[in-house]
Amino acid sequence: MASAKWHWAVVLLAGVMAACGDVVAPTVTDEIAGIDAVDDTDPADAATDVAADLPGEVSAAVCPGGAGCPCQDDGECDDGDPCTTNQTCPSGTCTAGSALCDDNNPCTDDACNVQGVCSHSPHSGPCEDGDPCTVADTCASAACKPGTARACDDGNDCTKDVCQAGIGCVYLATDVTCIDENVCTFAGACHLGQCVAGKPKPCDDGSPCTWDTCMPETGCTSFAVPLSSDCTDAVHGGRCWTAVAAPLTWLQARAACHTWGGELAPVRSLPDNSFARSVATAACGDNNAWFGLSDHAQEGHWRWSDGGHGGYNNWSDGEPNNAGGSKTTDGEDFAVLASDGRWNDVDGATTEPCFVCARPLAISCDDPKGCLVGAHCQAGTCLPASATAACDDGNACTADACTPGQGCAHAAMPDASACGVGTCSASVCIATSVAGKEPTSCAAILAASAATPTDGLYVIDPDGSGAIAAFATYCDMHSDGGGWSLAMKIDGADPAFGYDGDPWLKPIASGTGELGGKSAVLPSAWALPVTSVRIGVLDGGTWRWLTLPVQATALQAIFAANKPIVTAAGMPAWEALLANGSLQTHCQLEGFNVATNSTALRIGIQGNNENDCNTVDSWIGLGAKSNVCGMGDKPTAGDMACYGGDNGDRAITTFAAILVR
């Protein structure tokens, strides 16, 4: 019965519609396909008809077409919204599509109505015009208008700051003057984007009996070096020290030190710092004290008031900050020693309740070519010498003599000449040894000798009857206590002695044991225990030496561990290894296995013109691996300095030796 009722209902509906003249009744198929001949009059159907009548749209009744809708091809992915487009079917599901009316203009509000008609209304506010050389761009009249020009300032006086269209800020290195010249210092100039300080102007009156210094206000000044007997105060590091309780500015305190015959104390090492603080505390209690450090001559370049060098510093956290100044202008130029031993910079108007002075002890003024010794300074004058010069070079195989006006000379003795413990060969004393009874080291020979043996080649056997065979090595029996055994010789042009080379790490014997000659590694490098290391540099035919305290089972054990061991010889001692060694005065790192981003040294010191230890541009040492100054990994021993070395640029390859005791 239900089927019959439905049949007659359809017939009745068809009749009614036929009564409406020529209007054709839509079919179910027509409605689904969106081909309505006449819109439905029922308000409830209006929305469906609008969507269905738009061209190219598919009725949501068939497939919603929204993101995630299952699909087989892109044609099935129309979500029925006239304001979206570009829906696709990449992997069996429809994408969300994009807005139909986006005009890509940041200065319009895009809209779309139900008929799919776009509109673009201008708005105001910030925008980005795409030019990196403008900032604060704003919308006006539906367009992004450029704002103000971008300020490109990196705060570096050694760069020209420009903004290039399409690129943005560019900083170009210049070569202009960055620090003005004054009476004490030549002008500083820019190099590769860095401000390189000008060199100090010479303040040397030619007398060994005066101490010469400089200040911008007064220029060069000199005062007489006193006798050591005049020091009634504390003695430390070859200088006489005193502290005075008086409220003075730094310049006033310095003048008072000059009256005393000295300078505001230079503090070039941790022991100096501790001693200065103890002297100040004894005289003034736990109060701040002036000492001899200032960047008054050149902003940012701290120098000792006695004109000497040294990179040690003990600044408090965040200091020096030059409060009230800039990179090139004065603010706080003078260093003060706080009660805890740390340093701070303060301005020139500040008074402190204490100051520490130091002056050198008596010094010799002998003429090295005059054949007389014993001359000394007194009140700025060199008193004459009275004794014959001692020209003994410690070598029993040379005949020593002095000629007035020429100085000492050392002529070779004939080969086979007796030299106390053996015979001479090519100016070297070759010690006589008995097989199987060789001493274990040069120090053992010295300890067993009634008189100091001569320097020269000796046969030693560190492990007696062990696996290491006896070998000949140079022994220094006189210098710094004597008993030094040669362990290594390094030709700075030999790449095998770079930082990672086998000679530093492996027990491989090579070369011969005399002091000169070619590179060598002797068994003493891995077979002798070490309490001190003595390094020498052959400079212009003269050996120059530096002793470093360090304890290890052997020399090579220090390097195999590859851990830094800090020493405190100080910048002047390292520079003295060469006739005119050069280093930058900031960020000095010294010792064994000293490695930074740019340089690694097995033994040596590094420096920089900035307080940045990872960009060093100078070093003195042995076993180098370094790319400073454009030299690649050359040399492996020597002195490299550029961009402000205190004695100028250097690229020196040296021959060096390492002795152990």
Q: Which residues, other chains included, contact 163 with Cβ-Cβ below 8 Å and sequence gap of 6+?
A: 132, 133, 149, 150, 152, 169, 170
More confident residue, 389 or 196: 196
**Measured CA distances, 44 to 47, 48, 124, 265 (Å):** 7, 8, 41, 100
CA distance 197 to 646: 9
Domain residue extents for the chain = 1-30, 39-99, 126-204, 228-360, 480-660
Number of DSSP helices (H) and strands (E) in the chain, helices first: 9, 45
Q: What is the DSSP string of 306-373?
A: TS-------BPTT----TT--SSS-S--EEEE-TTS-EEEE-TT--EEEEEEEEE---B---TTTTEE
Each residue of 438-490: pLDDT tens digit? 899 999 998 888 778 888 889 999 998 888 999 999 999 989 999 999 999 99
Each residue of 237-256: pLDDT tens digit? 778 899 999 999 999 999 89
Handedness of CA 581, 585, 591, 596 (dihedral sign): negative
Structure token digits, residue 521: 């590694």
Confidence of residue 291 (pLDDT cuts 50, 70, 90): very high
**Backbone angles phi and psi of 142, in degrees to 5:** 65, 25
Cβ neighbours, 10 Å, residue 221:
16
- Which range is least confidently modeled, 201-210, 243-252, 364-373, 545-554? 364-373
To 5 degrees, how large is the angle CA 425–CA 430–CA 431? 155
Place of tokens 């949501």: 60
Of 395, 280, 383, give the one whose Cα is nearest residue 337. Answer: 280
Burial 408-434 (b: 16+ CB within 10 A, else e): beeeebeeeeebebbbbbebbbbbebe
CA distance 163 to 558: 52
CA distance 362 to 345: 32
Place of tokens 């004597």: 482
Q: Assign 45 to helix, strand or coil.
A: helix
Question: Is pLDDT above 80 for 561?
Answer: yes
How far from chain centre, in Å, is Cα 480?
34
Whether 357 contacts 262, CB under 8 Å: yes
Share of the chain above pLDDT 70, in %: 86
For position 383, what pLDDT does the model report?
Answer: 81
For position 108, what pLDDT does the model report?
Answer: 92
Task: Please give the helix or strand (H or E) that residue 525 lies within, else none.
Answer: helix 524-527
**Measured CA distances, 196 to 71, 79, 355 (Å):** 70, 69, 31
More confident residue, 539 or 28: 539
For position 408, what pLDDT does the model report?
Answer: 81
Confidence of residue 15 (pLDDT cuts 50, 70, 90): very low
Confidence of residue 21 (pLDDT cuts 50, 70, 90): very low
CATH 2.40.50.140 fits 228-360, yes or no: no
For position 329, what pLDDT does the model report?
Answer: 62
Question: Is pLDDT above 70 for 55?
Answer: no
Confidence of residue 311 (pLDDT cuts 50, 70, 90): low
Place of tokens 């100080």: 570
Mean pLDDT, all residues of the chain: 82
Structure token digits, residue 429: 């004393």
Task: Please give the helix or strand (H or E) that residue 357 lies within, else none.
Answer: strand 352-360
Confidence of residue 32 (pLDDT cuts 50, 70, 90): very low
How far from chain centre, in Å, is Cα 198?
20
Confidence of residue 210 (pLDDT cuts 50, 70, 90): confident
Question: Is pLDDT above 50 for 25?
Answer: no
More confident residue, 248 or 129: 248
Confidence of residue 13 (pLDDT cuts 50, 70, 90): very low
Q: What is the DSSP string of 62-115?
A: T----TT-B-SSGGG---S-TTEE----SSSB----EETT----TTEEEEE-TT
